[in-house]
Amino acid sequence: MQGHPLLSVFEHTEQQNFPLILVVGREPNGNTKMERFVGHYDFRQYPRCGFWNTSYGMVAHIMGLPTWQLKQYCVERHGSPIVYTDALPQCIENAEGNKWPARWAIEPKDIARHVTNIFSFPHLIDRVRLVVLSGLEHEVFATSRTLIMESCGKHTLPVVCLPFFHGMNARKIRAGLSGDNCQLIREIVGSFLTSNQMANG
């Protein structure tokens, strides 16, 4: 069984050159480990994924668009400015009622290797203009959070820490974004929307 991709992009994002927003969640849903390869996500396949919907909703709100319209633009352009990864290298099933023991059981050295791997894809990382940490305020994520922020510092990437991407947190998420954050997102998505590069579907 193949593991979960380290970075997940929409359709042909890798083959294009518009700027990106890297969204970092807690851990993927599943029972495998994250492995060092770039995979794909498709919001059409899982239209009720709260994490994806909330992140797209946040960006769409800043752009003055309905969420469905932003997604439709991504479908038309065969790519998206939103790229996903996670703070921890081990998947945990969503059905798991208490995820904290599994999170605490992950070795710091494995987390360090994982974060190093996240930043080892220059063809994508060099395009990132903003890193968004979602729901990583708890101490269990401290090692990953610190290492990610250190790596962002080395790449001179701005980082914003927001509440977990769930629909119930939408107002808190918007309140956590500064004016500079919002302007940067407008520039990133604006570049994506005006890009003349259209990958073949």
Q: What are phi and psi of 102, to 5 degrees?
A: -65, -35
Give domain status of residue 201, yes or no.
no
Is there a domain that residue 128 lies in? yes
- What pLDDT does 196 receive? 60
Host domain of residue 173: 4-194
200 within domain boundaries = no
Give the CATH number for residue 160: 3.40.470.10
Residue 200 confidence (pLDDT) above 50: no
**From CA 99, how far away is CA 84, in angstroms rounded?**
20
Q: Confirm whether 78 is domain-assigned.
A: yes
Residue 38 inside a domain? The answer is yes
Question: What average pLDDT score do residues 176-180 get?
Answer: 95
Domain annotation covers residue 112: yes
Give mean pLDDT, residues 179-190.
Answer: 97
Residue 199 within any structural domain of the chain: no
Which residue spans within the chain are E strands per DSSP?
A: 4-10, 20-25, 34-41, 82-86, 128-134, 159-162
Residues 6+ apart with CB under 8 A from 21: 59, 81, 82, 83, 128, 129, 130, 131, 132, 185, 188
| pLDDT for residue 58 is more than 50 | yes
Q: Give the pLDDT score at 3.
A: 86
Average pLDDT of 42-61? 95
What pLDDT does 135 receive? 96
How do beta strands 159-162 and 128-134 pair? parallel
Name the average pLDDT for the chain. Answer: 94
Amino acid (one-letter) located at 49: C
Q: Which whole number is the average pLDDT over 3-28? A: 96
| 33: confidence class by pLDDT, cuts 50, 70, 90 | confident
> Quick one: residue 64, left, alpha or beta (phi over 0 = left, psi -120 to 50 = alpha)?
left
Q: Give the pTM.
A: 0.94
Counted domains in the chain: 1
Q: How far apart are CA 81 and CA 9, in angstroms?
A: 9
The DSSP H or E segment spanning 121 is none
Sequence-separated (6 or more) residues with CB below 8 Å from residue 36: 6, 117, 120
List the structure tokens of 90.
Answer: 């081990």
